[in-house]
Amino acid sequence: MYQKRFLVLFTTLFCVSIAWAQNPSATLPSRTPQFSTPPDVLGELREKWNLSLGMDMGVSQLYHKVDFKRTPMADFYESIKAGPLPDYTWEEFEEDYDFKKTIIQPRFGFGALLTYGNVPAFLSGEFISSSSSYQKMTLSATLGLGKDIFFGFEENNYFSFKGGYKIMFQDQGFGAETLVNSVGNKKAKEYIQRFFDPKNAIGSPRGDLMTMRLGLGKYIGKDRRTNMGLELYGELDLTNETLRIARMNSLGLNCYVNFILF
């Protein structure tokens, strides 16, 4: 139950962040310095490097394409067949448990984005829930190309298109949770998730991905220190198939609010 409580807490914080970003009175008042002004180190950094931290929330659909006969599910099937059902076929097993090769999961987490001046390149990091299970987290970094294209009278609105190479350092939900959440029979899934936890069920939780993101966003406030928006994204798994028998391919929709540090 703690995962659901964490999701509720995260959702509340996300909504509060959006409300705070749109409230001009939330900006801290400036103070007039009473002494000599120190070197503007932060200003110098702002002219070159741009760093923002934010919160992300959305939904994704994972296309793992698992061949269940090559997973520990096959051993589970054999244990059933070894009992009072010796004539129980694999086809009946698949139909009874309603195996699926896609998973839809809510996602929530945190992200960071680093850019340099007007160079159309970026480095980003994500600590976000897994596309296999919202109860597990992932850690990844993306190096790519892309730029925000501003439009509108005050140029606070922007269109973004970004793509690049994504390293999935660890997806803690990619494995046993992928298999369990692929069971469409709700009663069977409820029982299986109580005991089914094989190690490296479908191979390495690490991945090499190609990612593409298309979005719309808006800067909030006169100082343009906060932005929020929506992104459609797709991820294609490029990992060598000898490392695991499943894919990390996914499509998703992401809502974000970012706070620009410099």
Mean pLDDT of the chain: 86
pLDDT, position 217: 95
In the prediction, which pLDDT does 15 show? 55
For residue 35 the two structure tokens come to 């002494």
Mean pLDDT by 10 residues, the chain (262 residues): 52 55 46 54 71 96 95 93 88 95 96 93 97 96 94 87 96 95 95 90 94 95 90 96 92 96 89
**Structure confidence at residue 40 (pLDDT):** 63
Domains of the chain (ranges plus CATH)?
A: 49-66+107-260 (2.40.160.20)
pTM above 0.85, yes or no: no
List, for residues 39-98, the tens digit of each pLDDT value.
Answer: 666 666 567 899 999 999 999 999 999 999 999 999 999 999 898 888 899 999 999 999
Gap between the terminal Cα atoms of the chain: 38
